[in-house]
Structure 1
Amino acid sequence: MSYLKSFPNQEGFFGDFGGAFLPPVLIPHFEEINKAYMELGRSADFLNELKYIRKHYQGRPTPVYYAHNLSKECGAHIYLKREDLNHSGAHKLNHCMAEALLAKHMGKTKLIAETGAGQHGVALATAAAYFGMECEIHMGEIDIAKEAPNVTRMKLLGAKVVPVSFGGRSLKEAVDSAFDSYVPQADTALFAIGSVVGPHPFPMMVRNFQSVVGHEAREQFLEMTGELPDQVGACVGGGSNAMGMFAGFIEDENVGLNGVEPLGRGTNIGEHSATMTYGKPGMIHGFKCLLLEDEEGNPAPVHSIASGLDYPGVGPEHSYLKTMGKVDYHAVTDDETLDAFYKLSRMEGIIPALESSHAVAWAMKHGKENPGSTILINLSGRGDKDIDYVAENFGTGE
């Protein structure tokens, strides 16, 4: 049996990671979601409707682009899977449209979610508008200030944006707030988790909905070059864009898989979000994963220049793939990320999201160390949301 069909098991575990550790009030609702996904998610009617949406609304397939100028600069052949060209500007719409379609079939009338950089929030607000549903997005106050354009987009799309002002006022707290709001609304709302995190079945569902990225990219790369890439890479916060990309290549033993996470400003607690590098097994938001913890054993404060990556946990499947040695994980700093952001903008005319810029930074570094190799990166989102923040704090790269 293939890897994707073997993992997770029926209880939602990838090895020792995953599961569903829920308060009793939420157990029947997550069981309902799992039952609906297992029944609907593999039915021809559901899949055909989703294919129609992807083609005629989202604009899929997104292209693979050979970054010729960046490749010349680095000495390796760098290709980009252009998820920044997916409608709403990032990969997030791939699972949001699917989750909203699932909610519609379940008779739900409202979508609730957390967001960090705002891309998941924008995508879910887009999906809610498409299906005529209510939408409620919880977002930390720090991220609201950093990602103001996406806040405006969510409101224009009809979503209610709930500022989160407690704790670190970032992604972890946004998840906490969204869960608290969801509990009394669970009969009529779906908590559309925004990454391959959370209790089962979401790590599985979101990976499967995002796998369209990797399957498209594999076919496109073969058509362009006649062979598979030496290395595939993607940024990792929760890890949805990376798992979507890896899904297309995970059976290919000769393709190296690479996750890239934020080293931020340094190695001290609170200066980074490098969960795969410094995390230990723990539990957060109802599932087991590698986790950054403080001295008291609580989820640690985290930092990243990219709001979508500042989460102390990570998807349970990433945790499993690291411990099995199937994927290599790397950490790049804020400074390296900014350099990649400016270089891709200036050299290719593509302004990437700061999240995606982490993967570009790794590709540039790896390319210089391995001249002549082929590297395929998931450019998971565009940088429209980041340009005001970057320009005000770091300049325009002149």
Structure 2
Amino acid sequence: MVHVLLLGTCDTKLDELLFLRTAIEEADPNIRVSLIDVGRCETQHDSIKFTHSKLIENYGNGQKVDELPRGDLIKTMAGYATALVKDLYEESDGTSIDGIISAGGSGGTSLAAAVMRDALPIGFPKLIVSTVASGDTGPIVEETDITLMYSVVDVAGLNGVLRNVLSNAGAAIAGMARSYAARRLTIAPETKIRVGITMFGVTTPAVDAIRKHLESENNVEIYVFHATGHGGKAMERLVREGGLDAVLDLTTTEVCDLLTGGVMSAGNERLESAAKAGIPNIVSVGATDMSNFGPKNTVPERYRSRKLYEHNPMVTLMRTSLEEAKEVGRFIAARLRQHTRDPAMVEVWLPKGGISMIATPEGPFADASADEAMFNAIHDGLEGSGIHIRTDERDINNASYACDISEALMEKIRTYRSRQ
């Protein structure tokens, strides 16, 4: 039987949660729904499978939570529920549950999203009916595949609008869970080599050529990640989950945004996962000539006098200065030096002819001195690490560069697999 978890604060949303439970069961009578209570106080109801008190007893050592400040309560209950959902997922190698759904306001959404992000892998069905699903959803979804449905009205009392929304959500999670369960039963063991590649608009020609070259190997499947912050996080997460076998980290532009306060940072853990995993990992410096901001009038005041380039009406690029370029180089070297498990599986490629489409000679972001400062920082930071650095005269989007970097990755993959 397909099994769906229903997560919610039963002390404040019980009627709405029970309606959602019925909607799921009506969409598919063969689905079993288990309600998890993550409210502030104990709620008594026969439909609650995992009660508030049992959750605290099993995962919180009986800690009293009813008097915690709201923010602390959400974090605490999210931690307990995450532990429970992890345990349920790991039972029978992930075959014990097939989907998870929640409904609530901003607090309930924050709690449910934390559980879904931390307890379940990408590809597992996750759905939240939320009052904040029409706003900035980045902090909710982050690098995962959580599906959001806007509740339109508050999840505070059943009415015609909310019943329709919850009915749609129930049918949606029923279909998602049923499909997931069926795929899980029929999917053959993975045989292709799964390669992650990072891309930006200004490195697209290189990635297109690399993808075609690698796919000509027949046994390679390519996963391209748009380096917009969440893309880099998603790739790092998939590596941690064992979902990638090799990485060609061509476009490390998110490091610039981390260091300058741009809008597309992937956080301080960027570049760590593949190095720690010891898998084949070629790193380049694509689009590290730029930080990203929104429309031109949103660029911070301190950067208004810098070299700016309007990529499109929604994205303004700022050229990395020489000092910032050094800092980017130091960051890349430090991360690789600190986290690399097997130096033989890591290589760094530095294209002197241009690190993006607009940083080639005569391009608007051409700055050979800044590029050289970054290259030197990487060389200095990796000296004695055992990690090979290849400095190349071509630009990053050169077709032959793409071919050669692809072949270098395949050589590492062959070496890696010969050791297994």
* TM-score normalised according to structure 2 size: 0.27
Q: Which has the larger radius of gyration?
A: 2
Of structures 1 and 2, the one scoring higher in RCO (CA 8 A, sep 6+) is 1
